[in-house]
Amino acid sequence: MTRSLVRISELAHQAGVSIPTLKYYIREGLLPAGTAVAPNRADYGDDHVNRLRLIRTLREIGGLDIGRIKRIVSAIEDDSLSRHELFGVVERARAADVAEPASSETAASRREVDRFIEELGWHVRPDAAGRQEVANALVALRRLGRDYDADIFRPYAEAADRMAAREVRSIATAEPHSVAVERMVVGTVVFGAVFDALRRLAHEHHSSGSD
Amino acid sequence: MTRSLVRISELAHQAGVSIPTLKYYIREGLLPAGTAVAPNRADYGDDHVNRLRLIRTLREIGGLDIGRIKRIVSAIEDDSLSRHELFGVVERARAADVAEPASSETAASRREVDRFIEELGWHVRPDAAGRQEVANALVALRRLGRDYDADIFRPYAEAADRMAAREVRSIATAEPHSVAVERMVVGTVVFGAVFDALRRLAHEHHSSGSD
């Protein structure tokens, strides 16, 4: 990696973003300020280019807004977080916006989902956002007249388990922390989007000739 | 299924939405008008309750906006569509918002992804939105310095293929069309959201004890 510094216009060009956007990211704390080389001039290095590409990926592929990206970037910069903790932050930042209002129906579903996750033997925070998302999905299915219990999600949990095990393994422990966390974040977001797109395409494929 | 009719206030209560929201859905064509029983009064049946629950699920669990929900609802109502065509509409309605601006880089990746899908033997429309989403993901990964080709997505395609095959099979051909299409739409959206949540939880689980 070269250590050459570039001016803000060149950084914008290299990263494919506008200068106002760049300045906005710096103000918002998503991007560190450049190195001051003159009273009105700062220069930027490869770390800035890489960070900008990461932000762009989270925004364009992951569909995340600036607030969520900021939480992820702060976690990446926090060397004190373990990978487990970082995955927790990313999990939360990618959570669905819409929370089901509390009701006895959702509370019961949530307990069922918590039990289901315990049966899977998964080690995840009690307040992980995904637990409530799965519980909300169960409530929605029942409202639509499907008499399901959480076990209907077992094939999905097994597929998710296999996929995540492979993905976490692929982050070699030998890598420096900063590289590993960037890979984790990118992997979670980009491969998640890819899987969702491929599943939709596979539905289209498997339904051909079905009627 | 009872055929009793209810007033708009009771419909709103049963479906868990406000009366203004109900009227908005009727104006937007998401919900058929009620049966006129007096000059200033229309009554509503079970079909309305079911449709409202479907809309709510697409909005709250799928995170879809009204425009996208409208496209899906229109397709559900169109008896002339085959299931394959309906999956195509749903595929498109669930597509990511952000399109990568055309460039030689994205065009080359798109050709690669098209070839990859052909190799999988998948029968999907040439203009399926998911193709471009996968291509955009490949471009993003390369920008971040990963020297990947489309084959990196093969484990994801295989998992999506297994999942979709099971899901499409579960829509028994014996069911009436209207039930089958509702199941397809709900299944795609709700189980997609569940899988994404479970994959995030599984990441957190598999990274515990990794450092």
Alpha carbon separation from B136 to A61, B111, B143, B149, B210 (Å, rounded): 7, 12, 11, 12, 31
Per the CB < 8 A criterion, the answer to whether B70 and B29 are in contact is yes
ipTM attached to this prediction: 0.89
Residue bearing the bigger pLDDT, B192 or B173: B192
Name every chain B residue with its beta carbon within 8 A of the beta carbon of A188.
200, 203
Q: Are A44 and A11 in contact (CB under 8 A)?
A: yes
DSSP assignment of B117-163 equals HHHHT----TT-HHHHHHHHHHHHHHHTT----GGGGHHHHHHHHHH
Per-residue pLDDT averaged across B118-143, rounded?
93
Residue A159 tokens read as 């597929």
- CB within 8 Å: B201 and A159: no
Instruction: Suggest the residue from A84, A178, A190, A194 to mutate for an interface test with chain B (most B CBs closer than 10 A).
Output: A194
Return the pLDDT at B197.
94
Quote the minimal CA–CA distance from A175 to chain B in Å: 12
Does B140 contact A87 at a Cβ distance shorter than 8 Å?
Answer: no
B164–A128 CB contact, under 8 Å? no
pLDDT digits (tens, 9 = 90+) for B82-126: 888 888 888 888 887 655 566 888 899 999 999 999 999 999 999
Query: CA of A15, closest CA in chain B: separation in Å?
Result: 9
> Residue range B143-166: average pLDDT?
94
A153 with B198: CB under 8 angstroms? Answer: yes
Using the predicted structure, report yes or no on whether residue B69 has a pLDDT greater than 70.
yes
The span from the CA of B135 to the CA of A194, in Å, is: 9
> Which single residue is written with the structure tokens 């519980």?
A135
Confidence bin at B38 (pLDDT 50/70/90): confident
**Cα maximum dimension of chain B:** 71
**Contact, A33 vs A7, CB < 8 A?**
no
Candidate from A131-135, B22-26, B181-185 with smallest mean pLDDT = B181-185
Q: How far is CA B206 from CA A88, A161, B199, in A?
A: 11, 8, 10
Q: Which residues of chain A have pLDDT under 50?
A: 1-2, 211
Give the pLDDT band of residue B184 (cuts 50, 70, 90).
confident
Do residues B46 and B78 make contact, with C-beta atoms less than 8 angstroms apart?
Answer: no
pLDDT score, position B98: 55
Per the CB < 8 A criterion, the answer to whether A122 and A128 are in contact is: no
Mean pLDDT (chain B, rounded): 88
From the list B162, B188, B193, which residue is nearest A203 (CB)?
Answer: B188
Cβ burial A127-152 (10 Å sphere, 16+ → b, else e)? ebbbbbbbbbbbbbbebbeeeeebeb
Question: CA A101, CA A105: separation in Å to the nearest integer?
Answer: 10
The pLDDT assigned to A174 comes to: 55
- Check if the beta carbon of residue A128 is closer than 8 Å to that of residue A92: yes
Tell me how far CA of residue B205 lies from CA of A131, A154, B122, in angstroms: 13, 16, 33
User: A50–B156: do the CB atoms touch at under 8 Å?
Assistant: no
